Amino acid sequence: MSESDQDHNPEAAEPTRGRPVGGTEDSWCKAVPTGTGITVLALLLSKAPDIPVLKTALHDLQKSHPILRSYLRFHTTTNSFSFVTPPDPHLQITPFDLSSTSQIIHNNHVSPYHSILQHELNQNAWHSPNPPSEMESKMFFVSVYALSETQWVVVFRLHTSVCDRAAAAALLREVLKLIGDSNGEGIKEEYEKRFEVSLGIEEYIPSGKVNKPFWARGMDILGYSLNSFRLANINFVDANSPRYSQVVRLQMNPDDTQRLLSGCESRGIKLCAALAAAGLIAARSSKQLLDHQREKYAVVTLIDCRSILDPVLPHDHLGFYHSAILNTHDVSGDEKLWELAKRSYTAFANAKNSNKHFTDMNDLNFLMCKAIENPGLTPSSSMRTAFISVFEDPVIDESNELHQKVGLVDYVGCSSVHGVGPSIAIFDTVRDGRLDCACVYPSPLHSREQMQALIDGMKTILVEAGGSYVEEEGET
């Protein structure tokens, strides 16, 4: 019996169901083999995780969210992908003891926890578009690392087509709830088995929001393509060696964070605009240019569309339901953060009001795939499609009793970018009132020293801008 026949034969020994991937999901299926789109959620714990309890919790999640127990299947005859969903959970947890973990941790420049995070970002079970075995086409992997006698790391690694940033945040909340509330009772009532995998984002776009004349689509694709040749980047350190993803964190204390957020609120803009503007200014200032010289940088802003789809999807609906808006900005040497942030946010808001996050979705997916297929179309074959990517809204989180119960010390959620994508991807969280950003970049295209200097520059710009807001308030 062929794989296709088994998928549709109700008398098969292990019946499965499935559906073709959607347009945006398909672009991720093509991006992940190159190294972009490996989503990782890493939890640092002060208490040893109870593996049987964790496994039961994850099986409960797979029963509640069938996308988590799905496989990615590549059909050679049609050169296409589909999700195949078996009826029962199948996830296994891979443990690493102290000895095994020590063989992985070899980076003296970062903490052991940070080293494990980067290690997982570069574990690509989907490196081939035609997985040679069912095991390698799974969408969800879990590992537990022993760092010491008092610290452990639990890592969830997922294919981004089934887990965007909002889904990763929801996954964390549900896992902590199931582990923290577990009394050995097994499946909770709210985690009953579900079978159908939800449709892709394209199927939920409200009627009329995606309409664009054929000629307009052609002009937009041409415009995006031609504009890309005019875009500036920070210097490439090594554009020839094999690439992998690394992470630098940007963290601010509660006072600086509150001043920054207040400055954004008073100007009617969002945090994403301030982060993007700080990145552009820091990038421009890293070059030896005259103040009047202007450079054009691209910013990609990602939008969680769940609340604006038809029907509206709940915030914890797993899958990939983000869209993107790409804007370009000319930056000179005398830019001020709040002025550039306001200009950046206005451009983004106008594009969103014009539904470009829906109308341009297919265009940006098409160009993303073209960059993968033809790296030479990008500067130095770097496959950089923008300088920076940000999210419209940060993840807001507060510590609670469940965190203490499971011993949660820290966590980071982010995705790899060393295939196609920006030079720096910002995954921002406001946690207990503190801004905490995981900044992912492709190495050795960019070096750690280069990116650390860029992030340090961004932080200085943001802190000073927040301080200027306080001074302005005092004067008024």
> 336-370 pLDDT, tens per residue?
999 999 999 999 999 999 999 999 999 899 999 99
What pLDDT score was predicted for residue 15?
57
The predicted structure's pLDDT at residue 6: 39
Per-residue confidence band for 186, with pLDDT thresholds at 50, 70 and 90: very low
pLDDT at 473: 56
Contact assessment for residue 240 and residue 117, using Cβ atoms and an 8 Å cutoff:
no
pLDDT of residue 5: 41
The predicted structure's pLDDT at residue 193: 57
Domain 204-475, what fold?
Chloramphenicol Acetyltransferase (3.30.559)
pLDDT digits (tens, 9 = 90+) for 286-299: 998 888 899 999 99
State percent of the chain over pLDDT 90: 73
How confident is the model at residue 468, as a pLDDT? Answer: 73
Of 249, 238, 279, 250, residue with least CA distance to 110: 249
On the question of pLDDT at 187 being above 70, the answer is no
Task: Dump pLDDT digits (tens) for 157-181.
Answer: 999 999 999 999 999 999 998 887 7
Domain ranges in the chain with CATH number 3.30.559.30: 204-475
What band does 26 get if pLDDT is binned at 50, 70 and 90?
Answer: very high
Cα angle 219-223-226, degrees, rounded to a multiple of 5: 135
Q: Max Cα separation, the chain?
A: 78
Does 382 score more than 50 pLDDT? yes
Q: Give me the pLDDT at residue 471, please.
A: 54
Residue with more model confidence, 134 or 310: 310
What pLDDT does residue 12 have?
42
Contacts of 455 (CB under 8 A, 6+ apart): 248, 249, 250, 282, 439
Q: Decide if pLDDT at 469 tops 70.
A: no
Q: Determine phi and psi for 149, rounding to 5 degrees.
A: -75, -10
The number of CA neighbours under 13 Å toward the Cβ of 452 is 6
Q: Where in the chain is the domain with CATH 3.30.559.10?
A: 3-201
Band of residue 134 on the pLDDT scale cut at 50, 70, 90: very low
Instruction: Provide the pLDDT for residue 136.
Output: 46
Of residues 254 and 180, the one with the higher pLDDT is 254
Q: pLDDT higher for 49 or 192?
A: 49
pLDDT above 50: residue 21: yes
CATH code for the domain defined by 3-201? 3.30.559.10
Kindly indicate the confidence band of residue 331, based on its pLDDT and cuts at 50, 70 and 90: very high
For 49, phi and psi rounded to 5 degrees?
-70, 140
More confident residue, 377 or 349: 349
State residue 184's pLDDT score: 42
Kindly give the pairing relationship between strand 80-85 and strand 434-443.
Answer: unpaired
Distance CA 219, CA 212 (A): 11
The position carrying tokens 């039961």 is 56
Crossing angle (nearest 10°) for helices 271-285 and 448-475: 120
Entry field: residues in the chain: 476
Residue 408 is predicted with a pLDDT of 95
Q: In the predicted model, what is the mean pLDDT of residues 244-272?
A: 97
**What CA–CA distance (Å, rounded) separates 29 from 21?**
9
Please report how the helices 214-228 and 361-373 are oriented relative to each other, as an axis angle in degrees rounded to 10. Answer: 50
Q: 386-434, pLDDT tens digit by residue?
A: 999 999 999 999 988 889 999 999 999 999 999 999 999 999 999 999 9
pLDDT at 341: 98
Is residue 123 pLDDT above 90, yes or no?
yes
Residue 124 has pLDDT above 50, yes or no: yes
pLDDT at 4: 40
Mean pLDDT, the chain, whole residue set = 89
Residue with the bigger pLDDT between 213 and 359: it is 359
**What distance, in Å, lies between the first and last C-alpha atoms of the chain?**
77
Q: How far apart are CA 476 and CA 474, in angstroms?
A: 5
